[in-house]
Homo-oligomer: A and B are copies of this chain.
Amino acid sequence: MTTMKEIAEQTGVSVSTVSLVLNDRDAGRVKASIAAQVRDTARKLGYRPNPLARSLRTSRTRILAFVSEEIATTPYAGGIILGAQDAASTLGYMLFTVNADGRVDEETEIATLKRYGVDGFMYAKMSNRYANVPSSLGDYPVVLVDATDREGRFPSIEPDEFRIAYDATKRLIDAQCERIAYVGCSELMLAQDGRLEGYRRALEDAGRKFDERLVVNVLNNGPALQAVSDLFDREKPDGVFCFNDARAWYVYECAARRELTIGKDVSVVGVDNHRVFAETFSPQLTTVELPHYEMGYWATCKLVSMIEDRDLSDLQLPHTTAALPPLDAPIPAKIHCTLIEKESVRR
């Protein structure tokens, strides 16, 4: 590891000059020729600043904290973290990923993170819901990921649940489905609210009536299959919008037992949570792809823009979220969803 001191010695200037130049604060303060020399030997020696030493002075570490509760249990958490990591890396930051879920106390973790001098926090839930941000985070820049701050203090990045459901249902309408069911989630959460509303509105916008009997909310378990089965027998749906791919599997199973072909007798759109199912088991499924990677990416950009007071709006997302695919595409296709950014009420 070469240091500024070495560069200073080699170039025959003082450390301060080197510091000035290498931090690009030499405009009209250091002679251009000297600056050039400094930069030259720096490059020659392969100089890279020591972030720890710098932090000690500036009390800025260029380290971000990603605090999550359900990192282990949720398969797609990886996507969010990956996006966050890529963004951090691109912006010159490092990421401490900690889970507050396990046997380690959340407050302790946050305290440790603070001691390490992180510049800001991402606070993530693993499916869109209201969150209580710990008050210990109050004086730091914070961005919520896949969650909404119940008190409206912090900005957040989350999927547009309403639009997900609206687009998915619209897709089924456009595919000429007459009896469109919704297999939802009986757990109380933001996502479920938005989804149900989007489903209802898409139907109404198409001049149809919302019918409660076509809706069933279930969990991931045995009774769920029975409930979906009942819906099939009672309502004979020809199109189903599913809360996620675990729910889609019940539909898939019910259809198989009735010798109905997915994509022909009954069209299914499912929101893709696990990926396993959509990719491996049911190629006939139309999936709404949740942009987890992008969520992590955007959240990080947002956080950095808050920290540095920098405008990051020119930053291109590596994978752009597209709108609905064209309708002449075959029904098994992917629907991309967009993200929304909620601003903090009081910053």
- Is A232 engaged at the interface, CB distance under 8 Å to the other chain? no
List residues of chain B with CB within 8 A of the CB of A266: none
Q: Are A115 and B1 in contact (CB under 8 A)?
A: yes
Given A82-B71, A85-B97, A102-B82: A51 and B115 interface contact (C-beta under 8 Å): yes
Most buried by B among A95, A115, A283, A293: A115
Candidates B48, B52, B112, B246; contact of A276 at CB < 8 Å:
B246
Of the four ranges (under 10, 10 to 19, 20 to 34, 35 or more), the interface on chain A belongs to 35 or more
Q: Are A276 and B78 in contact (CB under 8 A)?
A: no
Name the distance in Å between A86's Cβ and chain B's nearest Cβ: 5
Q: Which of A4-12, A17-25, A103-111, A175-183 contacts B (4 or more CB under 8 A)?
A: A103-111
How many angstroms from the CA of A317 to the CA of B333 in the assembled complex?
45
Total identical chains:
2
- Is A76 engaged at the interface, CB distance under 8 Å to the other chain? yes
Candidates B97, B281, B318; contact of A95 at CB < 8 Å:
B97
Q: Are B99 and A116 in contact (CB under 8 A)?
A: no
Q: Are A96 and B98 in contact (CB under 8 A)?
A: no
How many angstroms from the CA of A52 to the CA of B221 in the assembled complex?
48
List residues of chain B with CB within 8 A of the CB of A76: 75
Q: Are B86 and A103 in contact (CB under 8 A)?
A: yes
- Is A50 engaged at the interface, CB distance under 8 Å to the other chain? yes
Q: Which of A53-61, A131-139, A321-329 contacts B (4 or more CB under 8 A)?
A: A53-61
Scan residues 245-297 of chain A and give those whose CB is less than 8 A from a CB of chain B.
246, 249, 256, 274-277, 279-281, 283, 293
Q: Are B280 and A246 in contact (CB under 8 A)?
A: yes
- Is A81 engaged at the interface, CB distance under 8 Å to the other chain? yes
How many angstroms from the CA of A275 to the CA of B220 in the assembled complex?
12
Name the distance in Å between A97's Cβ and chain B's nearest Cβ: 5
- Is A186 engaged at the interface, CB distance under 8 Å to the other chain? no
A–B Cβ pairs within 8 angstroms, 19 of them:
A50-B115, A52-B52, A52-B56, A71-B78, A71-B82, A74-B78, A75-B274, A81-B97, A85-B97, A86-B103, A89-B109, A89-B112, A90-B104, A96-B96, A97-B97, A220-B280, A246-B281, A256-B256, A276-B277
A: which residues have CB within 8 A of B? 1, 48-53, 55-56, 61, 71-79, 81-82, 85-86, 89-90, 94-99, 101-104, 109, 111-112, 115-117, 220-222, 246, 249, 256, 274-277, 279-281, 283, 293, 318
